[in-house]
Amino acid sequence: MSPVSFARQRYTTKAYDASRQVDQAIVDELLELLRLSPSSVNSQPWHFVVANTAEGKARLAKGAQGGFAYNQPKILNASHVILICARRDLDDAYLANVLQQEADDGRFRDDAARTTQHNTRSSYVELHRGLGDIPHWAEKQAYLALGTLLLGAAAKGVDATPMEGIDREALDEELGLAAQGLSSMVAVALGYHSDSDFNAALPKSRLPAERVFTHL
């Protein structure tokens, strides 16, 4: 089937069937899809917290209290919940790790290629450091990964709910993310919708092509 068919079928699930689990092999594929996501200068400025135990989901549900309580049942009833986090900085130690990984994976035929890659990436990081928007830049890359995940889940027949409506500070605190140089951004519930999901039967709505495309 074509990717556009999956895009047409998918929708934001509002209620999950707590009795249904996503096969671990499918979850592993979706995690691999996140890990392989492209990012600017291969910066990979992200981290993914994956909960599929009752205890793990209860911890993530601490980010769905008060004004965000409407998302709590999704977190608790979904099969898996992935909290997408972004790096707050890309410091020299982190950049050295990425470079070494690229070397280990065989991307540099010689030292010159390695140096070129390091200089290119560093210049982008310095550009964004100058703009003061490294966290914003990192968050955009993490959303790119989110797009990959949502289409991939649809292709695997897995229902999903991206949730910006979470208490990011509470989750940063609960998971000790700041100490890891991370901040939480958006959670994604994965599973299978319940019969009570009103959104399952509603038609998708998008602005028409003439509103969103300009052809040159």
Interacting residues with its own copies between 185 and 204 (CB under 8 A): 202-204
Residue type, 204: K
Helix (H) or strand (E) holding 183: strand 182-191
Per-residue x/- marks for its own copies, 125-164, CB under 8 A?
-----------x--xxx-xxxxxxxxxx--xx-----x-x
The question of whether 174 is a catalytic residue gets the answer: no
Q: How far apart are CA 70 and CA 214, in angstroms?
A: 38
Residue spans of alpha helices (H) in 36-133: 54-61, 72-77, 92-104, 111-131
- Which residue is listed with tokens 């509470």? 170
Output the smallest distance, CB 212 to its own copies, in A: 6
| Binder of its own copies out of 22, 49, 78, 134 (CB under 8 A) | 49
Output the smallest distance, CB 122 to its own copies, in A: 14
Q: How far apart are CA 44 and CA 127, in angstroms?
A: 17
Q: How far apart are CA 98 and CA 67, in angstroms?
A: 38
| Binder of its own copies out of 14, 17, 22, 51 (CB under 8 A) | 51
Cβ contact 52:10 at 8 Å:
no
The question of whether 14 is a catalytic residue gets the answer: yes
Any contact of residue 65 with its own copies (CB under 8 A)?
A: no
Output the smallest distance, CB 172 to its own copies, in A: 13
Nearest CB to its own copies, comparing residues 44 and 194: 44
**Measured on CA atoms in the order 38, 44, 46, 48, is the torsion positive or negative?**
positive
Task: Enumerate residues 113-132 that contact its own copies by CB under 8 A.
Answer: 124
Per-residue x/- marks for its own copies, 8-27, CB under 8 A?
x-x-x---------------
Q: Which stretch binds its own copies (CB under 8 A): 15-23, 71-79, 100-108, 189-197?
A: 100-108
The question of whether 62 is a catalytic residue gets the answer: no
Report the interhelical angle of 134-155 vs 111-131 (nearest 10°): 110
Residue positions annotated with a catalytic role = 14, 74, 164
